[in-house]
Amino acid sequence: MKLTPVEVLEHLGFTVPIDGVDINPHDTFLHVATLKALGATMNIMAVPSDTLEGIRHGVVGLAGGYRGREEKLPLDRDSLFDLRGTMAALLNVYYRRQSPELDAQLAASDGSELPPPQPTK
């Protein structure tokens, strides 16, 4: 499967026509500066732990379905921290999202900033 640039942008919350966006040439600086500022603030460390839990449950469910059984893996701070690191690596490898600041945050963190996971039903 291949995600197109338009699909990637849609998953980020942007609807951009395939031909691009017509802007006033005098507004180029503002558009570029806005997009760069937004890109600089996108941070996997800011993803709430309940969102990470939902993603993790989806991944575990897919893996369990693929293997023909439901995997019961412990949900704890370490597993959420590991998922955050996996997601950061995915962004770096597939989308060339380089973030030295994020790498430093992940290296310095032990996952203790994450609140304890909520029990699931």
Per-residue tens of pLDDT for the chain, all 121 residues: 899 999 999 998 999 998 988 999 999 999 999 998 888 888 888 888 888 888 888 887 766 655 555 555 666 777 788 888 888 888 888 887 666 666 666 667 665 555 555 544 4
- Decide if 56 contacts 79 (C-beta within 8 A): yes
**Please, which residues have CB within 8 angstroms of residue 42's CB and are 6 or more apart in sequence?**
97
Total-model pTM: 0.63
**Contacts by residues 73-77 (CB-CB < 8 Å, ≥ 24 positions apart):** 75/117, 75/120, 76/116, 76/117, 77/111, 77/112, 77/114, 77/116, 77/117
- Decide if 66 contacts 19 (C-beta within 8 A): no
- Determine the Cα–Cα distance for residues 59 and 84; give it in Å rounded to an integer: 13
